[in-house]
Amino acid sequence: MKIRVGCDLTYEFAAPTPMVLMLNVHPSRASDVLAPDLIRLAPLRPLSVYTDAFGNICSRLVAPAGELRIVTDTVVHDSGLPDPVAPDAQQHAIADLPHDALQFLMGSRYCETDRLSEFAWSMFGKTPEGWARVQAICDFVHRHIKFDYMRARVTKSASDVVEERAGVCRDYAHLAVTLCRCMNIPARYCTGYLGDIGVPLDPSPMDYSAWFEVYLGGRWYTFDARHNEPRIGRIVIARGRDAADVAISTTFGWNRLKNFTVWTDEVTDADAVAVREQMVA
């Protein structure tokens, strides 16, 4: 299948302001991108592109005083298959983990393993190791949190979520990631596109989505504590320790977000060609 993804953002700045954008499809999906994955700015500004320490594509610029419109629009080929499920995937001993997985056992800005370690072991210490333990964590987080846009805030951490029992997709992911790390399972935070493909339409406003990945059986597997079921059409933008590593925009000065529109839609071959021609023009 082919999925059209993109965003249309408008910011207002009081003065020229440096910023970093993380809006491109992740390099791990580069072979699936069917139309130029470009960032378009109005007014035009120079962009400097680099890859961060986690392998994400980042773009630097200095936004002008006044309004800046940021648009991306591309088409991605997807298998149409749901997230893989591997109930027999085994948990690794810490000594056997690859070096680059170790950082995803550590506490981070929104994932306070030191605060939740005792809680995690009391809740999941008797569950079978491996896939079953991660699923038990997802089941708990899914039941524990009520989805509520009005209860979201940028400072909310995993320990806050345990107490408040409400939040958005990033809060589900932060709590699940933290509990997995407490149980010695490497877990990394993911952000990207997830449309309502193969499921009933979600009445919640459109947005980017957050989920997480765990390292079991020699590879990374996708889990989603908010939806708690395999989904079709995930398109990852960035991976990191938590949301602080994968913000879609980071600004170094006052700004106001005036418009925020995101799309993730299955399209026909003809639609895909039209998008590709539009982005090339």
Looking at residue 172, which CATH number applies to its domain? 3.10.620.30
pLDDT computed for residue 205 by the predictor: 58
101 and 214 belong to one structural domain: yes
101 and 226 belong to one structural domain: yes
104 and 33 belong to one structural domain: no
- Is position 66 within any domain? yes
Task: Grade residue 276 by pLDDT with cuts at 50, 70 and 90.
Answer: confident
- Is position 43 within any domain? yes
Q: Which domain holds residue 66?
A: 2-78+247-280
- Work out the angle at residue 175's Cα, subtended by the Cα atoms of residues 151 and 150, and round it to the nearest 5 degrees: 10
pLDDT computed for residue 269 by the predictor: 82
153 and 271 belong to one structural domain: no
49 and 149 belong to one structural domain: no
Q: Do residues 175 and 141 make contact, with C-beta atoms less than 8 angstroms apart?
A: yes
pLDDT in tens, 119-129: 999 999 999 99
Looking at residue 276, which CATH number applies to its domain? 2.60.40.2250
pLDDT computed for residue 49 by the predictor: 98
43 and 118 belong to one structural domain: no
222 and 108 belong to one structural domain: yes
115 and 50 belong to one structural domain: no
pLDDT in tens, 231-258: 999 999 999 999 999 999 999 999 999 9
- Is position 228 within any domain? yes
